[in-house]
A and B are shown apart, each in its own frame.
Chain A
Amino acid sequence: MTAADDSLALLDDYLSVAMSDAHAADFEERLFAEAAAGRAPELGYLDAFFDQAEWFTSRGGFSSGATAEQIAELRKLPNVHYIDVLPKTEVSAWPTDTKFVVYRLDVDLRGYENIDVALVTPQGEHRKWFRDVVCDPADGALYGACDAPLAASTFRHEPLIARIQASRAESGKRELVAELSVTPK
């Protein structure tokens, strides 16, 4: 643990009231002194984090994945682009005024748990994890939504393969359930 990690952990303890009032009184003296001196980067980070977390309230929090119903609602809004990701999908450029991209990965994950999606290049180079995602309970597909610039890195930058791994709910056996490839058109 670095000093910065310790400061972040202490500040989190303070804010979440894991720190006793007696310790908090001393901590506050240091906190204010460091803030006044402009030496409290962790304070700035967590302060901004509160505001960012508040923004996520409108999206239902920090959960990963969405349901078909939620995506259907989003698709009714303007400036929303929808992508249906099949085993081999070519993705065209979306309108420039697109703010939000919503998608459905065509897979049936009913009966599975602990679902992870790894994005890799066709050469096997790892790009990104989507951990512990949730599938739609009705059709078992994966649904998601994100801001257009973020979506562009997944759908429009380079060919990518989504490797969907999950554990069988009954046996716990880990499996590669599906691989869906996306290629920018």
Chain B
Amino acid sequence: MLSVTDPAQADASDAAALAARALSGDRAAEARLCLRLAPAIRAFARRRLRSSEASSEFQQEVLLIFVEALRSRKLEDPARVAGFVLGICRNLALDRVRERERRSRLWELYGDAVSACDVVQPAQVTLEIMRLEDCLTELSQRARQAVWLSYGELLSHAEVSTRLGISEGNARVLRHRALHTLKQCVSSPKRWEAMQ
């Protein structure tokens, strides 16, 4: 039996085993599955939704449905847990499309009467952010911009190439290289970390 207090060992457990344990009431296994799947759910949402708030909200909703399904034993085959969660994502995305259509009809009717306000979270600097800040200076302006437009302004691939005035192919290569360079750079400790 894997110990949940030993992360290295616990991380080695396969998804089916984790799902089986979660189905038998192991809350730690359930939490670990959610943690593992959350980035994939967010990626699914980010491909379809523009704002980070909407992606987070989507992830929460999927995980709520997933946890409810685990606890009520709706997941029949633990080996298919990944596909099960992907199915929740797809169903929810479809529901969202229907809901959006309904909402846009409501907006047409009552939109003028509704006002919204944004809540801005206070910014908090982390070691990862400082590493990224450090590494960004090594990229060309164009590469920084390509990555920023995709991951900061959340523009689609086609929109990024239009904004940069380059072909979609070039924008893609530029972004891939920049992401690779940044990933390599941020994964190594920096001189200033040793000075702290």
Most chain B C-beta atoms within 10 Å of own C-beta, residue among A48, A99, A130? A48
Query: B130 is contacted by which of A11, A12, A31, A147 (Cβ under 8 Å)?
Result: A147
Once the chains are docked, how many angstroms separate the CA of A96 from the CA of B139? Answer: 31
Once the chains are docked, how many angstroms separate the CA of A64 from the CA of B136? Answer: 8
A to B contact number (C-beta, < 8 Å): 185
Interface string of B29-47 (1 = CB under 8 A from A): 0000100110110111011
Q: Name B47-85 residues within 8 Å CB distance of A.
A: 47, 52, 81-83, 85
Asked if A28 lies at the interface with its beta carbon under 8 angstroms from chain B, I say: yes
Once the chains are docked, how many angstroms separate the CA of A44 from the CA of B85? Answer: 18
Q: Given A15-B47, A43-B39, A64-B137, check contact A36 B85 (CB 8 Å).
A: yes
Query: B195 is contacted by which of A15, A37, A49, A157 (Cβ under 8 Å)?
Result: A157
Q: Which residues on the A side are within 8 Å of B86 (C-beta)?
A: 28-29, 32
Asked if A14 lies at the interface with its beta carbon under 8 angstroms from chain B, I say: yes
A184 CB to nearest chain B CB (Å) = 11
Asked if B95 lies at the interface with its beta carbon under 8 angstroms from chain A, I say: no
Once the chains are docked, how many angstroms separate the CA of A15 from the CA of B125? Answer: 25
Once the chains are docked, how many angstroms separate the CA of A62 from the CA of B178? Answer: 12
Q: Name A23-48 residues within 8 Å CB distance of B.
A: 24, 28-29, 31-38, 40, 42-48
Asked if B110 lies at the interface with its beta carbon under 8 angstroms from chain A, I say: no
Once the chains are docked, how many angstroms separate the CA of A13 from the CA of B192? Answer: 34
- Count how many chain B residues have C-beta atoms less than 8 Å from C-beta atoms of the other chain: 66
Q: Which one of A51-59, A67-75, A135-143, A169-177 contacts B?
A: A51-59
- Count how many chain A residues have C-beta atoms less than 8 Å from C-beta atoms of the other chain: 60
User: In this complex, what residue of B is CB-closest to A48?
Assistant: B128
Asked if A97 lies at the interface with its beta carbon under 8 angstroms from chain B, I say: no
Contact A37 B190, beta carbon cutoff 8 Å: no
Asked if A83 lies at the interface with its beta carbon under 8 angstroms from chain B, I say: no
Contact A38 B152, beta carbon cutoff 8 Å: no
Q: Which residues on the B side are within 8 Å of A64 (C-beta)?
A: 136-137, 141, 144
| B interface residues with partner A (beta carbon < 8 Å) | 11-12, 14-15, 18-19, 33, 36-37, 39-40, 42-44, 46-47, 52, 81-83, 85-86, 89, 123-126, 128-130, 132-134, 136-142, 144-145, 147-148, 150-153, 156-158, 160, 168, 172, 175-176, 179-180, 182-183, 190-193, 195-196
Query: What 4 pairs between A and B have smallest CB-CB spacing?
Result: A153-B192, A132-B141, A36-B15, A35-B40
Further contacts, 7 of them, CB under 8 A, given A12-B172, A47-B42:
A8-B179, A29-B86, A40-B39, A49-B182, A56-B129, A63-B144, A132-B144
Task: List 19 contacting pairs A-B, 8 Å CB cutoff, sorted by A.
Answer: A5-B180, A12-B150, A12-B176, A18-B172, A36-B33, A37-B36, A46-B43, A46-B179, A49-B182, A51-B52, A58-B123, A61-B144, A63-B144, A128-B137, A131-B137, A132-B144, A134-B141, A152-B195, A152-B196
